[in-house]
């Protein structure tokens, strides 16, 4: 499964959790999850690479839903798990900077 397809699956999961998806030109930073007036919004940076946006989606999903209790395609789940492991290694609770 390529990065674009993984991104589409991750965005679908965010939407199923009630997150509003907004496509905006943000300079290539990737976007991310935020809450505005109680509404969760995930900004997709239309100038960013699909893999960068997918990584941000993978970070956001476990924050808003218990991913162990829902079906996620194996390739997508592996992407989330791999990203979560990398996040712990590079800036999680250890305080290391990227």
Give the pLDDT confidence score for residue 93 in this predicted structure: 41
Interatomic CA distance for residues 95 and 38, integer angstroms? 29
SS3 27: coil
As averages over each run of 10 residues, the pLDDT of the chain (98 residues) reads 91 94 88 92 93 92 89 93 66 39
Q: Is domain 3-89 given the CATH code 3.30.2010 in the classification?
A: yes
Radius of gyration of the chain (CA): 13
Domain residue spans of the chain: 3-89
**Model-level pTM?**
0.80
Burial per residue of 56-76, b for 16 or more beta-carbon CB atoms within 10 angstroms, e otherwise: bbbbbbeebbebeeeebeeeb
Interatomic CA distance for residues 60 and 31, integer angstroms? 11
């Amino acid at each position: 499964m390529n990065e674009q397809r993984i991104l589409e699956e991750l965005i679908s999961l965010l939407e199923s959790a009630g997150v509003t998806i907004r496509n905006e030109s943000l300079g290539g930073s990737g976007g991310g999850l935020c809450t505005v007036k109680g509404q969760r919004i995930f900004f997709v940076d239309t100038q960013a690479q699909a893999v960068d946006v997918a990584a941000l989606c993978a970070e956001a999903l476990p924050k808003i839903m218990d991913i162990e209790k829902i079906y996620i395609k194996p390739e997508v789940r592996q992407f989330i798990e791999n990203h979560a492991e990398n996040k712990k290694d590079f800036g999680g609770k250890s305080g290391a900077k990227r």
